[in-house]
Structure 1
Amino acid sequence: MASSSHSQPIAAASQPPRVFPTSGFQVIDPSDKVEEENLPCYIRDEYYPMRMGEVIGEHYQVVAKLGYGTTSTVWLGRDLRDGKYWTLKVHINTMQYNQERVVYHHLASVTNTDDHPGRQNVRELHGSFTLTTQHGDHEVFVLTPLAMSLMTLQEMQPKRVFQKVLVTSALDQVLVGLDYLHTAEVVHTDLHADNLLISIKDDSILAKVEEGEILAPAARKQDDDRFIYVSRYILGGAGALTICDFGQARIGSEHTGPAMPLPYRAPEVILKMDWGSPVDLWTVGLLAWSLLEPEALFDVYAADSPELNDAHHLAAMTALLGPPPPEFLKRSEETSKYWSEDGTWKGPVPVPTDVSLESLGTVLTGEDKELFLDLLSGLLCWLPEERLIAAQAYSHSWLRGVSEE
């Protein structure tokens, strides 16, 4: 196993590390790929070779694996000084620039948002340290543990949709959190249900996760000097919805260049225009729809052909929103590939016919549906400056308690 510069507990620790089982778990065939190994860009030596029960950062004992991604693995750690649990996000050793850290530090430095209610809906960085191995350094974030994502909870629902009362509660919290971020001049750009996590009110849930790892150790495979563990998921949690993952976030009011996951891209991003915080409100509109309706508004139609994918995406927008206004068309030469100067579609794929937001909406009825579509019309606008800002969307009558018919 690679060595760590912070692998031993210090004298200040008041609790001895627990001994974790070295047997009694499912041994996965070495030829099978496990978790992060399935990522297309996975490189073995870039990831820290964590061992269950290892003490890192001088006083955090790793007690469970919580997840993984393209730039990190995520673990549950218990502070041996006071028994408090933390999420430990261990980054790969080839990250030359950690945008998420920059954003966290920026948010911590902004003083005019100290009393903003949306702070509780945005994840904060509580500390960091570095682990050193023969292959390089791994930056570790210390974060408050959170439970499952809104996407995981949605997948547990009948037909993968929520009741209206849960949708409005989720959107309220997202909008308050976004108002805080935008006040601090941070654009998230990657807002979707998998980056919205439910906070934990009772640490006993975390103690049960640790105990589960003792009594029924996670399945794993051995790859030479390391183990690849199967993650445990924290399925409890009843606290605030928390906006997470700032690796793609931007600081400042105006930006250029690619951003946002393909299905969520705002039109100004697709068309290489300048963009800013209104892109987050575009995704709030898509989020509202996806939480309430079983079918997404915009799918990736031609992932192997970016040009055609953009055309399909913009054609679907044209079908649902109508042609873009002349002012919008003048903002980028890219628009001439898809529309004439008067807004007539000329793209390489046809515009879908006989579709509208009203016809696609299947859940709500009557005035409730009308108000919901009115909210969407204020979020899914061609012109970014015409979109509702977060505080305006929060005050919309559909979110403020109109009863269903």
Structure 2
Amino acid sequence: METQRIMEFPHKNMDKRPRKRPRLTWDMPPPLPPPKVLPAIYCVQEFGNGMLPNYAYSSMFYREPPCNGSPPWRPDDKDGHYMFAIGENLTPRYRILSKMGEGTFGQVLECLDDEKKEVVAIKIVRSIPKYREAAMIEIDVLQRLARHDVGGSRCVQIRNWFDYRNHICIVFEKLGPSLYDFLRKNSYRSFPIDLVRELARQILESVAFVHDLCLIHTDLKPENILLVSSEYIKVPDCKFLSRSAKDGSYFKSLPKSSAIKLIDFGSTTYEHQDHSYVVSTRHYRAPEVILGVGWNYPCDLWSVGCILVELCSGEALFQTHENLEHLAMMEKVLGPLPQHMVLRADRRAEKYFRRGARLDWPDSATSRESMRAVWKLPRLPNLIMQHVDHSAGDLIDLLQGLLRYDPAERLKAREALRHPFFTRDMRRGS
């Protein structure tokens, strides 16, 4: 039997910042054609496991929803994903406009809320018990965030949730592209330092807010930081002005508004809960997680440090898929790991070290390509100075505080917000 349990959240915390111009089509699909032009095509795991932006999905598959407001009942696919057709309803209230992305948890659909007359993003969780349980924990976290996030400016806002055909569905406000998607569509060109400063300030304020509620995000990365607006502008790129560029590549895009919000609280953990062994996406994983010496709030700040380097350079700081190589990259960029952390490494991490607690590199490197990937990395100060024209000294000092190996010595979010990288800029503006 079809069940539909709905929990509403008021819109009083909606972001009410005015927009001076209409929303542009940075990540929006083309306008919907008239109904009944083409038959629907069922969409289940057609685009791999990565989260993809809207523009990858054509609205040509749109069709008018059935008169009774409910689509035909279909079995889930073999992995428990909900099967749907563009243009159908998801309950009588929500009309499916496009598929926005997909992950291990399920799918995200762009839908029109016929009751509120607004476009929303709906996360449809796979009909598998462990994912349903995780979704209920995420809803609890989102409710807690919504109660305390006055103005709704730090984290994505939950609109409501319901249980539909054995799928937990979480309704969110519709935001713009992620910082990663913006970088990718901008040919991985770095952001200017003043924009990085403003983004960094908001990221740290959001992380401080989450930590104040005794929550650890555990999966901070550019994919999980979304611009509120999709509007952007084109500006000349000084690095390309002296070259003969084609297709306007001497211009780069910048977001028109720097407002951002954190998303994806599916892995968020309460400070007092048992902590899983491994957390965070590989490139943003803190050394204490790899070494198995225990993790807490500071693992989020390490991730923030990695994110800021990526925003400055356009590329992930540690592009690796293996623990030993990852630790070797850390030592190349930041210097040797502290002996007291190495000596505390658990049995799963002991194999990465020789006697005397030195990293077993490059002797245990898996390939020459792996060795080259480590050797080509510069030290952190040199890396930043390659991309930052002013404020480099303050930024380097901030990053060295966020990327301290010892989590006990790492900057906390509110400490980082008092760093001269932010306060010196404020004094200049006063």
Residue number in structure 1 paired with 2:212: 183
Q: Select which of 80, 84, 99 maps to 1:65.
A: 99
Q: Select which of 279, 282, 285 maps to 1:265.
A: 285
Maintained 8 Å contact 1:74/1:90: yes
Residue 378 (structure 1) aligned with residue 401 (structure 2): yes
Q: How far apart are the structure 1 equivalents of 2:258 and 2:381?
A: 33
Q: Deviations over 1:313-357 (max 9, x none)?
A: 111212222222233223224464344676543342477488411
Residue number in structure 2 paired with 1:46: 80
Mapping 1:223-234, distance limit 5 Å: none
Mapping 1:4-403, distance limit 5 Å: 5=3, 21-24=35-38, 36=46, 38-39=48-49, 43-44=77-78, 46-96=80-130, 97-106=132-141, 108-109=143-144, 114=148, 120-132=153-165, 137-157=166-186, 159-200=188-229, 238=257, 240-252=259-271, 255-300=275-320, 303=321, 309-334=322-347, 336-339=350-353, 343-347=357-361, 348-349=364-365, 352=375, 355-361=378-384, 362-365=386-389, 368-402=391-425
Q: How far apart are the structure 2 equivalents of 1:94 and 1:397?
A: 48
Residue number in structure 2 paired with 1:11: none
CA change 1:154–1:313 in 2 (3 A) is same
Q: How far apart are the structure 1 equivalents of 2:196 and 2:326?
A: 25
Q: How far apart are the structure 2 equivalents of 1:236 and 1:292?
A: 15
Q: How far apart are the structure 2 equivalents of 1:284 and 1:236?
A: 20
Maintained 8 Å contact 1:20/1:52: no
Q: How far apart are the structure 1 equivalents of 2:97 and 2:186?
A: 30
Amino acid at match of 1:275: W
79-88 or 148-157, larger mean C-alpha shift = 79-88
Aligned-pair RMSD on alpha carbons? 3.5
Q: How far apart are the structure 2 equivalents of 1:159 and 1:79?
A: 34
Q: How far apart are the structure 2 equivalents of 1:63 and 1:160?
A: 31
CA change 1:144–1:60 in 2 (3 A) is same
Q: Deviations over 1:152-185 (max 9, x none)?
A: 1112336521111221111111111101111112
**SS state of the match for residue 46, structure 1?**
coil
Q: Deviations over 1:208-240 (max 9, x none)?
A: xxxxxxxxxxxxxxxxxxxxxxxxxxx998473
Identity over the aligned pairs, expressed in percent? 27
Cα drift, residue 255 of structure 1:
2.7
Amino acid at match of 1:99: A
Residue number in structure 2 paired with 1:232: none
Residue number in structure 2 paired with 1:218: none
Residue number in structure 2 paired with 1:10: none
Cα drift, residue 37 of structure 1:
5.1
CA change 1:371–1:36 in 2 (3 A) is same
Give the TM-score normalised by the residue count of structure 1. Answer: 0.73
Q: How far apart are the structure 2 equivalents of 1:186 and 1:19?
A: 44
**SS state of the match for residue 93, structure 1?**
coil
Amino acid at match of 2:394: L
CA change 1:382–1:353 in 2 (3 A) is same
Higher relative contact order (CA closer than 8 Å, sequence separation 6+): 1
Maintained 8 Å contact 2:125/2:135: no
Maintained 8 Å contact 1:36/1:69: no
Maintained 8 Å contact 1:57/1:130: no
Amino acid at match of 2:405: W
**SS state of the match for residue 148, structure 1?**
coil
Amino acid at match of 2:419: H
Maintained 8 Å contact 2:49/2:102: no
CA change 1:389–1:34 in 2 (3 A) is same
CA change 1:163–1:124 in 2 (3 A) is same
